[in-house]
Amino acid sequence: MKTLRTIFLVLAMLMALTISADLTATADQVEPTSSGGDEISPTYETWTNSLRGTSRFLASRRPVTCDKYPKVCLAKGSSGPDCCKKKCVDLTADRVNCGRCGKKCKFSELCCKGKCVKPRSDRKNCGSCNNRCNKGSSCVYGMCSYA
């Protein structure tokens, strides 16, 4: 039992030292830079406000948004090439921004190629996007030739 208490005490002291060292370190500023053309690396820029009284973890960095740097949506790993309300989206597949910013599909609809479709009954998008039913068959409950 004493060894368990000793281990917890040592861990608590290490955590306290780590936090205090982190709070006293100076913040390095990183400016967003473009990598020579069409791509921009998704870096972070730091806030220049004082860290006194606030946690460095919560107040030190904020992400680069696409409203100021639109090419950030073209970077590898981005969620889409278009910018809507400071977020990178794919207008061809996003249910909240289908075809244009702010156009929402209904609950039972999907966004396929920028249009809201009903996958339970659409022959060209039966069950999912671009799932065509064969000639003569119909789409019922999201399945081709159900009956």
Q: Give 49-104 pLDDT, tens digit per residue.
A: 445 555 555 555 666 778 888 788 888 888 888 898 888 999 999 999 999 999 99
- Rounded Cα distance between 89 and 111, Å, is 12
Tokens describing residue 81: 């090439």
| Domain extent listing, the chain | 29-81
> One-letter amino acid identity for 120?
R
Q: What is the reported pLDDT for 98?
A: 94
- For the segment 122-139, the average pLDDT, to the nearest whole number, is 90
- Rounded Cα distance between 104 and 102, Å, is 6
Output the pTM of the full model.
0.51
Cβ-contact 4, 37 below 8 angstroms: no
Q: Give the Cβ contact number of residue 110 at 10 Å.
A: 20
Contacts within 8 Å (CB) and 24+ apart, 27-36: 27/51, 27/56, 27/60, 32/64, 32/69, 32/72, 34/71
